[in-house]
Copies of this chain bind each other. A is one copy, B any other.
Amino acid sequence: MGKCESCIIREFNSLKSLTREELIRISACKTGKRYKKGEIIFEEGESLNGVYCIRDGVCKLTKLSENGKDQVVKLVVKGDLLGKRSLVADQKTNLSAIALNDMEMCFIPKSEIMNDLAKNPNFTMDVLKDMANELRTSEESLVTMAQKSVKRRMAEILMYSHDNFGLDEEGFLSIVLSREDYASIVGTATESAIRILSQLKKEGLISTHGKRIKIEDYTGLKWIE
């Protein structure tokens, strides 16, 4: 496992505001963790005793609704810091994290982060800004859920995947989700998600091969309402 002070991942998150000395200290006490596709990283209600810095892979953050279904709240990727919120608020985590890929991450113990948070105002400010942005996107998703049709929401997650995770050699979305995952992101029944996807297929906007999806007409997706 490499050293934090020479790790480029940190440029993508708030850790970039730490001093060289702080990074060296963190480097000394961090541990590496690997998770296989489908593995649970942590579950809603657990107390986290640190944050996870994602080096590779994608995971979903979900929350169990009272109706018994999981809702995906956010997809997190390389560079994201997981568990900030719980640490800062000193609360049990409100979300579960489940790997969608094989993942590689560094785990930084709570005490070390809290220490830096207390002593390095730049770092605190950076975490604060980050949280402000998360809040904005969360509010945007809330409006999307409340106001847009299932079809529109599906189109949005397809475009999001395209923009953020890219395509494989054959032009399929490189992140492969089950229909159930799509349903849980869009906030609908699995069969509904499937139905919407086959509708999009009929309309020529996408094509599929097994669970893999290829976007055939990005612009077309954009205009769905």
| Contact of A31 with B by CB under 8 A | no
Dominant secondary structure at the A interface:
helix
Nearest B residue (CB) for A187: B146
| Contact of A85 with B by CB under 8 A | yes
Contact with B along A156-181 (1 / 0, CB 8 A): 00000000000000000000000000
CA distance A133 to B95 in the complex (A): 13
CA distance A127 to B121 in the complex (A): 13
Residues of B within 8 A of A145 (CB): 142, 145-146, 187
Contact with B along A33-45 (1 / 0, CB 8 A): 0000000000000
From B121, B140, B187, A124 is in contact (CB under 8 Å) with: B121
Interface size on A, as a range, is: 35 or more
Would you list the 3 A-B pairs with minimal beta carbon distance, nearest first?
A146-B187, A89-B132, A65-B147
21 A-B Cβ contacts within 8 A?
A: A63-B139, A65-B143, A65-B144, A66-B147, A66-B148, A67-B225, A69-B147, A71-B142, A73-B142, A73-B143, A84-B132, A88-B128, A88-B132, A89-B129, A90-B129, A118-B125, A124-B128, A131-B135, A134-B135, A135-B138, A145-B187
